[in-house]
Amino acid sequence: MKFGMFVHWGPVSLKGTEIGWSRGREVPIDEYDNLYKNFNPTKFNADEWIKTLKDAGMKYFVITTRHHDSFSIWPTEFSDYDITATPYKKDVLMEMKKACDKYGIVFGTYYSICDWKHPDYPLGSPGGKTKKETGDMEKFIPFIKGQTKELIEKYNTKILWFDGEWEKPWTHEMGLDFYDYLKGLDENILINNRVDKGRKGMEGITISNEFAGDFATPEQRVGTYDIENPWESCITICNQWAWKPNDKMKSLEECLFTLIKTVGGGGNLLFNVGPMPDGRIEPRQVERLKEMGDWLDKYGEAIYDTKGGPFKPNEQLASTRKGNSIYLHLLNFNQNNFEIQFPENIKIKNCSVLNGEILNFEITDKLLRIDFPAEQKELVTVVKIECDKNVENLQSIDLK
């Protein structure tokens, strides 16, 4: 699917500070834990959110159902600290799920393992730096199992995106057990590697296959080229995960290059927005996402259903491939010819600008030279190289 929407949202949006982390830091604990009483997103419209996602060219959705701050955005049997306690009351999660079904979007849920508020979880705010007298993982585990069962059985979530696994109370054994439990409820559910203890820092890769998890989770960075192991970079459209007024937003160039380098490296991009306390996604963010969607409308063939490479991405280019075609994504390319080393034993049948003009090309000494009729001025020039055979298993090429 290659491109999805991540959403970090909850009562904390009323403060405009970071979800979970600002509890007991920028916002006193007592104030933070009472924000829900004023959480009334009267302009929330699930249909609009998912339409925004669809128009951005995204294919799947992952929403924070319960972050480190413990607030559950759905009516849950296992806690009173949930959406029904707010003045809004409505099951926003079910509305999101229904809108996803309507638009053909895969529905997924973020769920934090650590809980800095729950009395049974041993660590507390700020940032897991305090200890609770009442901590007891034996009691806490049935709580997270019960809640995730609701997400699977009632909301039919297809992705469980865990987080907060790095803290001491969570162990490898617990991770394995939880993973098996969830796959027992739905064998087709996708589970990220943060269910277990095998994640290597913000690089997010799984350090060895004795650890559970279906995909790796590089955070706030494009993952390293890897076409063997599934991975997904999670990156914010602004700086903060949750909404922050006037947060600095990425330019269209940054957004597109991030997507292209991620996909060119073999990964997916889970691109995050933080909706406002009234329930709307900021109009400027909606607009930026639409610009990405407009680009994907034209060049989606070179993104969706592709494999990364064979050329490893660098500052000048990324490449993707599908069947007999290699797509070169030339970033800020402003010349009228281009040269690149090209694998022997592959014959090129045709070179063209994707959905555009046929290009003259020539191969001499393993060097492919492509000529453009005029200097290129687009942010990205996508060249489609059609070969005489399937290129999906060609060896990766490091251009340096």
Which residues of this protein are in contact with ligand JFZ, per CB under 6 A?
Answer: 19-20, 163, 219, 234, 241
Closest CA to 213 of 184, 174, 176, 186: 176
**Residue 218 C-beta: closest distance to ligand JFZ, Å:** 11
CB of 127 to ligand JFZ, least distance (A): 7
Q: Which is nearer to ligand JFZ, 75 or 128 (CB)?
A: 128
Structure tokens at 128: 């897991």
End-to-end CA distance of the chain: 28
Q: How far is the CB of 18 from ligand JFZ (least distance, A)?
A: 7
Beta strands in the chain (DSSP E): 3-7, 60-66, 106-112, 123-124, 130-131, 159-163, 190-191, 232-236, 268-273, 307-308, 317-322, 325-331, 337-341, 348-353, 360-364, 367-371, 380-387
By C-beta, is 168 or 347 nearer to ligand JFZ? 168
Q: For residue 144, give the amino acid letter.
A: I
Q: Which is nearer to ligand JFZ, 20 or 310 (CB)?
A: 20
The minimum distance between CB 234 and ligand JFZ, in angstroms, equals: 5
User: From the CB of 219, what's the least distance to ligand JFZ, in Å?
Assistant: 6
State the minimum distance, in angstroms, from the CB of residue 242 to ligand JFZ. Answer: 8
Q: What are φ and ψ of residue 289, in 5° steps?
A: -65, -40
Rounded to an integer, what distance in angstroms lies between the CA atom of residue 276 and that of residue 1?
27
Cα separation of 123 and 126, whole Å? 9
Nearer to ligand JFZ, 220 or 336 (CB): 220
* Residue 135 C-beta-side C-alpha neighbours within 13 Å: 16
**Which of 87, 166 has the CB closer to ligand JFZ?**
166
Q: Which of 7, 322, 320 is nearest to 159 (CA)?
A: 7
Closer to ligand JFZ by CB, 270 or 380: give it: 270
Closer by beta carbon to ligand JFZ, 217 or else 376: 217
Q: How far is the CB of 65 from ligand JFZ (least distance, A)?
A: 12
Tokens of 294: 């407009």
Helix (H, G, I), strand (E, B) or coil at 153: helix
